[in-house]
Structure formats: structure tokens, C-alpha cells
Structure 1
Amino acid sequence: MDDTVTENSLCESNDQKEVIPFEKCEQKTYKNSSYMVGVFGVLQSLRKDKVLCDIRIETDDGTIIFGHKIVLISASTYFCEHFTGFNESNIDHIIIRELDSNALQLLMNYIYTGEIIITEVNVKILLAAANLLQLDYVKNVCAEFLQTRLDASNCLGIKAFADFYGCMELSTSSQTYIKNREVVDTDEFLSLSSVEVIKLISCNDIFVPLEEKIFECVINWLKYGIDSRKDFLPELMEHVRLPLISKQYLLEKVVDETLLKTSPKCKDYINEALQFHLLNYLQPFTVSNTIRSTPRQSIGFQKVILLLCYSQKTSSVVYWFDNIWQPAPKMSKCYNYGCLGVIKEQFVLAMGGFHLGSKKQLVEMLDVSSQSPCWIPMMDMLVSRRAFGVGSLDNRIYAIGGSDGANRLNSVEVFDINTNRWQMVTCMFTKRSSHGVGVLENLLYVVGGFDGHEYLNSVECYFPCLDTWIRVAAMSEYRLGCGVLVLDGVLYAIGGKNKSGCLKSVEAYTRSSGVWTSIADMHFCRQYFGIVILNGLLHVIGGYDNKKVVLNSIEIYNSKTNTWSLKTLSKDVGNGKWLHACLLRGVLMVLEYSKTSYMWYLNSVECYDSCLNTWTSVATMSECRRGCGVEVMDNVLYVIGDKNESGCLKSVEAYTLSSGI
């Protein structure tokens, strides 16, 4: 039944002919759901036929649209204010300036039907018109539509558009998108105002692969309208962090830029950068940071895991995890007993290891921000190392301890990406190899290992500002080949092995307590596995057990519940007994190797995606390595030293996504 019926508040009794109170009467309310649709459908037909219309709305181009005041007043505060005043109540014709006639026609249809058609062509003019006519629903759905269409080519324009019309949610989404994408070299950037450019390039967490890109885009923006923009040069260059630009680029491109030669202030900025590079070369540990020499801290990037894997193949396998496991670029050499390291979540270093029986201090670097990633040989380490520890602190890579093939080492060297130089620092107290390294509260912790005679449970802590080591509380378990990582201010020592065999136990350490405490065990005993933090969870990847059986699983630790969960590792990934993993902005990268009766040294790299649990390969290294060090810095992956068939390596390779080699 479509009619709505409401009984009277007072009812008469048929039997007693007396008035019955309302609350004692049976009542039921009916609502005709199609009533308003029908009524407004008729009103829309009347409007189109210009029947009973009492207002004509004219736009700048002369288009006239008819309507009914009472309908427009009920839908829009704008029309209500225009038609309810004493002087305006009798008008039958208004002109609305700067209102697109097509947008007005669509909005009039919306007022009468509740439906609006939004396209990529009309969305901005619709939002602007809805903002003027105070039709909030249409304005909001237009903003939602734009939010779903954000990409690198339009996000700057959408951000400015959202700010102008007060679309706060769209503005926030656009700003987040801008920070997570490289947008400074898009066509939209050239059309920004000086205020918008300064706001963008002064942002500390804007995504740029290198500071050189900021410099290039500022110069391009100036030259796009040089006559009207040249006066903004000093103010713009104030926000370009010239000290972070490579020395070679600085001398070849920046110093010779004609625009900068005309500005005394810009010359000061160039001198500041040159002085920074000089001091960083002569006294790398004493250079004070200013805002222009402080790396940008990009946030919100998708986390990726890189695994460098060694197995019974002729090349090192590198995988990275970016929604799926996929092969990463192959390294130029095969590594054995090397390590991975990460700097600035961009640069990955694979370090050390043996190669073809030679004792070389190899290092390779991978820049994951590049469009065509590749491995690049870097400056060799000063000491040949394998089975050593790697830590990244203050955008420097530390190669700690290890073995040169004959003796355990307590020496430590540090790599500076800005100078591509290694420098020795103070030695540890204890010679050790196959140990773990973690960074807790800007201090380096070296955990466990093997001194050539005994398994170790000792822990040492390095203060970089003082170039000093101290001993801290020992673990309850002796551990070789354990995993060490920091999560939420807690240092974890995981698995490994000792005289009792392979371990699944885990210990945790905080500076405030100064002691190690046991937490939940893993599901399986394992050693020489990859370990990373991904999405706030600790991931233990691969490795092998007491029987030297390779484990094709990932164990995931939730510190809030103190529990471990299991995931299956791809059958093509993690087959090696030795794994190195690192997490960077773009991908999970894994380095894998194994020790068999016939030793093979690998140079392949693969990448893993945690959501889909899949792997892909990336560029191979130039050297095959086992037990090398791997670290990431500024979106470049570095592979450092270790061992292959030739012996210990000191060579270094670097990988960049842009070149793919």
C-alpha cells in the first residue's frame, strides 16, 4: 500500500461512543518511497517545458536556464539568499557571472533529480560551480572523483585546485601522493607559482631520488619564464640542498650554470657546498650538518624487501619483494659470505665475500629509485672480509669484524656514500665472525658470533660520536649466525646456533633495562637467515636447521602479542643456506648462498612482495659472492666484499634502478 495513513489523535469507540485517548488507539504510518521521485519528476518536466517557471538564470555566454524558485531555495543556500530577501523576492531574472553554462545545466538537473554525471572533462568546472552554488554533496563527490584520478602528471594541479576551493581531504591526499612520487620534473611543475615551488622544494619529506633532480627542476622552472621568474632565483636556491649533490655534478653542472653566476647569494650557496665536500673528505666525522646538508626524509613509501641468495648455481640470486617476489637485477660478481646494507632506504650495498678464490674487498651498490636499476662497482673495502656484520648509521655503512679466510677480525671500517671512501675506525674488543649487528638509539650493537675457538654471547656497543666501543650485558645463549634487528626500541637476537645445535630461541634487549630477556620461540630452529622489519612486523626469512635442511618459510613476529606466524617461501626463493635481506623504500631484497661439497658463488638478486608472497629477479652483480655485506643508502644498494672461488673480496658494487645494472 503506497498511501500514508495516520489515525487521529483521538478515536471513538463504536461500542461505547466515548472518546479514547490517542495513546490507546492502534496506529501505523506508511511512507511512499517513490513519492518524492514522482513529484520531482513532474517538476523536472515542467522546468524543461518552461511551465510555471518563475526564474530565469543567465550565464556569461548568454545561456538561459529556467527554474522554480521554491525548488532552488530548498536545495541551495546560495539561491535561498538570493530569492528570499525583500527586494529579491519578486525578481524573475538573474545573471551569474563566471559560471560555466554546462556546469549550471548539470547542477540544475541534479537539484531536480538528485543525480549528477561527473567525467574527467567536467569534474573541475562542476566542483567550482557547486562551490559557488553551495551544493556540498556535488562538491564532495567531485573531490572524491579527483582523488581516485591522482597521478604524477596531475597531482600538483589537483593539490593547488583543492587548496583554492577548500577541499581539505583532497588536499591532504594530494600532498601525501606528492611526497610519495617523483613529481618535480612533470609538466605541471613548470606551471606552478613561485610560492608553490618554494613550498614544494622546501618540504623535508618530498620524494626525490637525488638532490640533483631538485636543482635541475628549479633551473628548468626559471628558464620556462625567465623574464618574470629570474628574481626568484636566490630564494629558490636557498631550498636546494647543494651539499648533498655529488662533487662531480657540482663542478660540472652547478658551478657552470649561467643563471647562478649572476647572483652573489647563489655563489655563497655553491661555496658552502664545495666546502662541505672538502671537509667531508678531510674530516668526515667532524662535519656539522645544516638544513642544506641534511638529507630529505621521504616518508610513506611502499616498503620492499631485498634478498641476496647463494645456492648451487653459477650466479648469486637476488630477489625483491614488491607485492610479489620477483628477480632483482643481477650483480656483476658472485658473492660468498657477503652482507647487505641499506642507506637512506634507497641505496643498497652488497659487500665483501669470496670471489673465484681471491681475497678482494668487493662492494656493489644498487639504487632502487632508478627507473632501470643496476649494480655499480664502488670503492673496495680496506680489508678483505667475509661473514662480517653490517650496520647503517647516520647515512654511513659500517663493515664490522668477520674473517679474512685465515683469521677472525675485530677491525671496523665505515663507508661514506658522499665521498665513496672507506675509513678505518676503532676496533672491537673481541675478534668475531658470523655475528649480528643492530642499530639501537643511534648506537651500533654487535651481538654473538664466533671467535675461531668458541661461540660467543658477548655484546659490544659502538658510540660513533666518540669512536669508542663498550661492553654491555651478554646474552643468555651463545649464538653464531643469529639475526639481529631493532623494532620499536627493542634489540632482538634471533635463532643462530651454538654447541647445542641450531636455535629457535629469541632474546630482547633495551637500553633502559640493560639486560636481555627471553621472548616467544620461533616455530623452527634456524640460522643464517634473512631478517627485516616490514609493516611493523619482524620477518625471518629462510635459513637452515640442525640437519642443514634449507627452510622455505618466513616466520613473522608480532611484538604486541609476542607471537610468531608462518608463511611459505616461494620454492624458487630461499633454497640457499645463507641468506641476506634488506628493506628499502621500493622492494624486500634477498641474497642467498649455500655451502656444499661443490661450492658455487652467486651474483643474482631477487625481490619479494609480502602481500602476494611472490618473487622476481633483478640485475645480477658483476662478481659472484658468498657471505658478502649488503647495505642500502639513498635508494642505492651496495654489495661489499666477502668471498668467491678466487678468495676474499674487497670490491664494492652499487645497483641503481634507473640503469638496471
Structure 2
Amino acid sequence: MPAVEGSDSGRMDGVSLGLVATPASPRPNCNTDSEEDTMDGGMLTFNQTHMRKAFQLMNDLRSKKMLCDVQLVAGSVEVPAHRVVLASCSPYFCAMFTGDMSESKARQVEIREVDGQTLRKLVDYIYTAEIEVTEDNVQVLLPAASLLQLMDVRQVCCEFLQSQLHPTNCLGIRAFADLHTCTQLLNQAHAYAEQHFTEVVQGEEFQGLSLQQVCGLIASDKLTVSTEEKVFEAMIAWIKHDKPARLEHMPKLMEHVRLPLLSRDYLVQIVEEEALIKNNNTCKDFLIEAMKYHLLPADQRHLIKTDRTRPRTPISIPKVMIVVGGQAPKAIRSVECYDFQEDRWYQVADLPSRRCRAGVVSMAGCVYAVGGFNSSLRERTVDVYDGGRDQWSAVASMQERRSTLGAAVLTDLLYAVGGFNGSIGLSTVEVYNSKSNEWIYVASMNTRRSSVGVGVVEGEDEVFVCDQGLLKRCLNEQLTVCVCVCVCACACVRVSVCACLCVRVCVCVCFSAGKLYAVGGYDGASRQCLSTVEEYDPVADQWCYVADMSTRRSGAGTHTHTHTHTHTL
């Protein structure tokens, strides 16, 4: 358990001395050791152990009830002490003993607001600068420390409670912090509840919240939820926990549920069928508002401006993996997400059209599905998914039809590299600027490529393309945020770099810690899948083998986690 420790400073207070209690000697030893050296010219010294030894001696005297001039009483517990020591460490006692109150001269002083054992612990702290904070004593220790104005103890109690935050107790800790005006702990507990909302609403503490507290939580823009479904379901569960008393609060709660951000299917199949909604005209109005929002074209939805159409902006956005389209056995529209926290898959809005073999990237908080194959034709179209609104919308199409292309994002620009147009592999490269909503050509590769692996070297403004044993640094250009037609005249150059150590088709590529990794693929001759992994150093322009994967694979996807772990799927 944490012990409150200070530093050896010049202040004579137990809070800041950082003292450690030692076993009492049989008789008080009033002799002290001098550490001062003398010189003819004089010398000023500071004895760093002086205060520690002094407080050890005073605590020794206290334990033997020697020279004590006050006895604190709390219930049946009596605690002898020295006024000067108490006053030097506690502003509460300082005011009591130096003022005109009767306690300033009384031999016994009753402390009514603190229980005996807690008072004993705090007086021990004053003399020793040590205290143990536990789950069992923190709720009595903190208010007692606040009363006696032992602010270091109060702070340690707050830090202990902050370290104990959990979805099952954060709302209780928040209420406790609010009661005792612990502002920092209050804010930390509230932020924790926002960030762990999905788990918090499953606990008993959430069901016991007042209407005002529930509204304050679900109205927050910083609420961390994978979908708005979690908020709607939590609100319904809170109502049903005490339906007779809480049913009248439905309209007030529904003001803060952002129904327009729910999928159309969820609105029709779940929200509209909920009996609590059906039987409340005000709640049905909120549902109609959400339906109208979904009926509007995507470019007109901004015309409905309410708090319910504003996406939440949590501090830590929950991470999900999204799988877009694919073949089963023909191209499909299905899109699924995997929630890492809840270990589950769930459906989101389908693609506007069937699509497989597309390039998929994340840029500016949205997911882009670029090109692909619809089971009949290669695509030029590009669709963008907005997770906050659970909807797809179209943006400008590419200049060429491309499937099995490479896609990457660099400096807020989306690159479409190579691919197959239905007849031949492509060497061309296009770049998309979301601000101008247009695609332009940049420097082509030296070789036609499809089923390519593309990786971005952070900080170098370079996109690497790896396929069939050849790696090309195909782009090395400075593109401004406002890209226009003149970019075509910029110095887009290709630089040949060292080839991979072995031929790799359908290889996956990723960047981590300044190095590029070519993972798996299959060789061009035997078409055998590979488990080998190569590492490329852009500075040395060299490849080397690193540890093999446990499984042979080609056409995989790879991603670098924030802790520099590479994940291959």
C-alpha cells in the first residue's frame, strides 16, 4: 500500500519530512550526533538527519507519554501528543492551539468527527510521515485527513482511489469524490466512466444513478461507444430497472440518444419495435426525426442540425477491424466489424454495390474502398464509410478501372498503385485529394503490377511497392495539402532500390520502427506459399531475413500495432 513520503526540506512539518518510524528505545536518548566540521574561518552546515532524528525522538517520547501536553479523544480511544508537533503539521491543530478557543489550554480535546482508529493513524503519520491506505480504510481516512487539513494524506487517498478505478466502481468513486470536493478525482472517475461506458452500464452502480446523472453521462460528446446502440440499450435498461418510477423520464433521456447515428435497420427492427417507444408520442417524434435524416441524400443531411446528429468525439476511439466486401463465391456487399474489447463481430452498413479485390484504407477517420471487381467489371468507383453515421457515400472515381491494386495513405493523400484493369496489369499510380475530391496521375512504376504489397515509410514521404522480387521507391514527392493540376509538373521521381532476397507474389508489406517488412507471398516458379519474412533498411538499402512466420501465407493483410508488434491476417 502507498506510504506518504516527503522530502528533507527546511519546513518543520511531518507532512514534508519523509520520516520513517523506528522501534522505540528502552529510555529516550536525548543525545544527538553532530555532523558539523569546524574551521578557524567558520563554516555553515546543514545536518540532513537532524529533523529525522528529532521526530524519531519525539515519537519515542510520545509512545512513553513523556512531555505530552494534550490528549486527543475520539470515542473510547485516547491519543497522547505534543501540541507543537500537531500544530506544526496540521493547520487545523495550529488554529485550535494558537487561538482563543478553550481547546488551546485544555489537557483533553475531543475530536468528534473522526473515529478513534483513524485519528490514531493520522497522528502516527504526523510523527512518522508513514501511512497505509487500503480499500478498507480509504473512505474514512480521506474525509478525516480533509478535516485535519493533512493534504498530503488526502492526495494519496485520491491517488489510491484513482488506481482502483474499474467499471464496477467508477460511478461510486465519482460520487464519493463529489461529496468530498476532490475535483481531480471526480474528473478522472467521470472520464473513466465515459471511456468504459459499455462495461459500466452493465453494473449495479449505473442502475442506481439518478435521472440527472444518467443524462449527464449519455449526453457527453466524449462517450466511448462502438455504436450508438450501446447508449439506446443502456437507457432502456435503466428505465426498465424501476419502470413505475422511471417511465415518465423517457422523453428526457431520449433527447440525449443520437438516434440518427443508428443504422436504418436498427431503427426499424429494434427502436421502432420497442414498447416504451411505441407508447410515448414524444419518443416517436425522435424516431421520426432519425428516419427523416436517413431518407435525405448524404449531401443534404447536414441540414438537420441537432445535438442528436452530431457524432461523438471520444478521447480514445474504440478500435475495430473492418472487413469490406469480398467473394462468397461472387462479389458481395457485406461489411463486418470486429470489436476487440467485446470480442465479437457485428454487421454495419452494406456497400452500395458488390465489390471484391478492392483496396481498403483508413484516412481522416473514414474507411475508403477503392476500385475492385463486381463479378462482371473492374471498378473505377470509390466509396467512403463514415462509422459515426454508419453510412457509405461515393466520392470521385479513379481515372482507370483497377482491381487487386495496392492502396496507401501518405500525408492525407490516398494512393492507388498498379492493379488489373481486366486486360493487363497496370504500372500507373493515381493520388486522391479529399479536399478537392479529385484523382490525378503521378509518376508511373517501371513495371506493370497487380496483387501488390504497398507500405508507407513514415516521415520519409515515400511509398514502397513490393511484388515479384522487385521493390520500387515509386514516389518521392512533396505534395501540398491543396493539390491542383500543377502537381503533374512536379518532380515525381522513381528510384530503384535493392530487390528482395527472394521472389514474392501477393506479398503483404508494412512499416515499423524505420524498417519495411515483406511478409509471406508465394514464389513465382513453384507458386508455393512462403513463411519467410524480409526486413528492408531504407538507409542502408539492404534486405535481410528475420524470423519466419509459423504458417505459410500469401495475399495476407498486415498492420503494425502501436507497441511495434506486427499483426498478419
Fold-level similarity (TM above 0.5)? yes
Say if 1:83 and 1:89, in contact at 8 Å, map to a contact too: yes
Q: Deviations over 1:159-182 (max 9, x none)?
A: 443455455654555455434423
1:40 equivalent among 50, 58, 65: 58
- The yes-or-no answer on 1:471 pairing with 2:445 is no
Return closer, same or farther for 1:431/1:193 CA change in 2, 3 Å cut-off.
same
Q: 8 Å contact 1:506–1:522 — kept in the other structure?
A: no
CA drift at 1:503 = 0.6
- The answer for the alignment partner of 2:83 in structure 1 is 69
* Structure 2 CA distance for partners of 1:114 and 1:460, relative to 1, 3 Å: closer
1:4 aligns with 34
Matching residue of 1:210: 227
From 365, 368, 383, the equivalent of 2:339 is: 368
Distance 1:251 1:538 in 2: 49
Q: 1:113 to 1:210 in 2, by over 3 A?
A: same
**CA pair 81-204 structure 1, distance change in 2 beyond 3 A:** same
1:109 and 2:124 matched: yes
* Residue of structure 1 in register with 2:325 after alignment: 351
Q: Which has the higher contact order (CA 8 A, sep 6+)?
A: 1
Please say if residues 552 and 570 of structure 1, whose CA atoms lie closer than 8 Å, have aligned partners that are also in contact: yes
Cα distance in structure 1, aligned partners of 2:384 and 2:47: 81
Q: Summarize the Cα distance change of 1:260–1:84 in structure 2 as closer, same or farther, 3 Å threshold.
A: farther
Does residue 187 (structure 1) correspond to residue 204 (structure 2)? The answer is yes
CA separation of 1:504 and 1:429: change in aligned 2, threshold 3 A: closer
Which TM-score applies when normalising by structure 2?
A: 0.73
Paired residue type of 2:404? S
Deviation at 1:39, TM superposition (A): 0.6
Give yes or no for the alignment of 1:153 onto 2:168. Answer: yes
Tell me the SS of whatever aligns to 2:104: coil
State whether structure 2 residue 470 is matched by structure 1 residue 502: yes
1:2-60 Cα offsets, whole Å, 9 max, x none, are 6215467xx8xxxxxxxx5436xx9996956872364134234135xxx554334344x
- What CA distance in whole angstroms lies between the structure 2 residues aligned with 1:29 and 1:473? 73
CA distance in 2, matches of 1:160, 1:563: 59
Partners of 2:278 and 2:402 in 1: how far apart?
A: 54
Equivalent residues of 2:458, 2:514 under 8 A apart: no
Match of 1:578 among 541, 546, 555: 555
Residue ranges of structure 2 left out of the alignment (5+ in a row): 1-30
- CA shift for structure 1 position 189: 2.0
Q: Distance in 2 between matches of 1:171 and 1:203?
A: 15
* Corresponding position of 1:277: 294
Distance in 1, Cα, partners of 2:164 & 2:266: 36
Cα distance change, pair 508–113 in 1 and its aligned pair in 2 (3 A): same
Q: Which residue of 1 aligns with 2:530?
A: 550
Instruction: Name 2:16's counterpart in structure 1.
Output: none
Q: Give 3-state SS (helix, strand or coil) of 1:86's partner.
A: coil
> Equivalences for 1:79-118 in 2 at 5 Å?
79-87=93-101, 88-118=103-133
Provide the residue aligned with 1:453 in structure 2: 424
Structure 2 residue matching 1:197: 3-state secondary structure = helix
CA deviation after TM superposition for structure 1 residue 579, in Å: 1.7
Distance across 2 between alignment mates of 1:186 and 1:28:
56
Give secondary structure in 2 for the equivalent of 1:298.
coil
**Structure 1 residue 402 and structure 2 residue 417: aligned?**
no
CA RMSD, 1 decimal: 4.7
Q: 1:576, CA displacement in angstroms?
A: 1.4
Give secondary structure in 2 for the equivalent of 1:152: coil
Paired position in structure 2 for 1:606? none
Give, in angstroms, the shift of residue 612 of structure 1: 6.7
Which residue type is aligned with residue 505 of structure 1? R
- After TM superposition, the structure 1 stretch with the greater mean CA deviation from structure 2, 434-443 or 231-240, is 434-443
- Distance across 1 between alignment mates of 2:544 and 2:98: 68
1:259: how far off?
5.2
Give the letter for the 2:313 counterpart.
Q
Q: How does 1:178-577 map to 2 (within 5 A)?
A: 178-181=193-196, 182=198, 183-224=200-241, 233-255=250-272, 257=274, 265-279=282-296, 283-288=297-302, 290=305, 291-300=307-316, 345-346=319-320, 348-353=322-327, 358-361=329-332, 363=334, 365-369=336-340, 371-374=342-345, 382-383=353-354, 385-386=356-357, 388-392=358-362, 398-403=368-373, 408-412=378-382, 427-438=397-408, 444-451=414-421, 452-453=423-424, 455-461=426-432, 469-475=438-444, 480=449, 481-484=451-454, 492-497=462-467, 502-503=470-471, 505=473, 507-508=475-476, 510-512=479-481, 514=487, 515=490, 516=492, 524=500, 528-530=506-508, 540=517, 542-544=519-521, 550=530, 552-553=532-533, 568=546, 571-573=549-551, 575-577=552-554
- Cα deviation per residue 1:604-626 (whole Å; 9 max; x = unaligned)? xxxxx9567788x9xxxxxxxxx
Match of 2:323, SS? Answer: strand
SS in 2 for 1:453: coil
Question: 2: distance between equivalents of 1:176 and 1:97?
Answer: 35
Distance 1:75 1:240 in 2: 51
The secondary structure found in structure 1 opposite 2:257 is coil
1:455 aligns to what SS in structure 2?
coil
Separation of aligned partners in 2, 1:3 and 1:366 = 71
Q: More helix by proportion, 1 or 2?
A: 2
Name 1:120's counterpart in structure 2.
135
Distance apart, 1:245 and its partner CA? 2.5
Report the CA distance between 1:493 and its aligned residue: 2.3
The answer to which of 79-88 and 523-532 deviates more is 523-532
| Alignment check: 8 A CA contact 1:504 1:524 kept | no
Change (3 A) 1:470 1:118: closer
Q: Say if 1:347 and 1:366, in contact at 8 Å, map to a contact too.
A: yes
**For 2:247 and 2:379, how far apart are their aligned partners in 1?**
57
Equivalent residue letter for 1:572: S
Q: Which has the higher strand share?
A: 1
With over 3 angstroms needed to count, the CA separation of the structure-2 counterparts of 1:565 and 1:122, relative to structure 1, is: farther
Percent sequence identity is 29
Does 191-200 or 119-128 show the bigger shift?
Answer: 191-200
Q: Distance in 2 between matches of 1:107 and 1:408?
A: 76
Q: Which residue in the other structure is 2:42 paired with?
A: 22
Aligned residues: 519
Partner Cα distance (2:524, 2:236) in 1: 61
Q: Distance in 2 between matches of 1:43 and 1:295?
A: 65
1:29 & 1:494 partners in 2: Cα distance?
65
